[in-house]
Amino acid sequence: MISEETFFIKLGSRIRQLREIKNLSQQDLANDCNIPKRQIGRIERAEVNPTLRTLIKISNALELELKNLLDFSIK
């Protein structure tokens, strides 16, 4: 079992890690997702609960399947 707080912390870290691997700024990712840059920052800092729609946009922008975005065991 994983707590909600832990899930969102891990999700934010994973998104930041994958974004940085792709050499994307928060603004680049936001532009690719058509969402505000501040929203990317808030997701990465685990300040918000992103919608499934937003997670799909992020996974598409990072060229990943959604299941891989959510697989915290992959490094």
- Amino acid present at 73: S
Instruction: Report the distance separating Cα 43 and Cα 50, nearest Å.
Output: 7
Cα 63 to Cα 5, 53, 68, distances in angstroms = 26, 15, 10
2 pLDDT higher than 90: no
H or E segment to which residue 11 belongs: helix 4-21
- Amino acid present at 65: E
Residue 26: predicted pLDDT: 98
pTM recorded for the entire structure: 0.93
Residue 49: predicted pLDDT: 95
Residue 42: predicted pLDDT: 98
41 pLDDT higher than 90: yes
- Cβ atoms of 20 and 13 within 8 Å: the answer is no
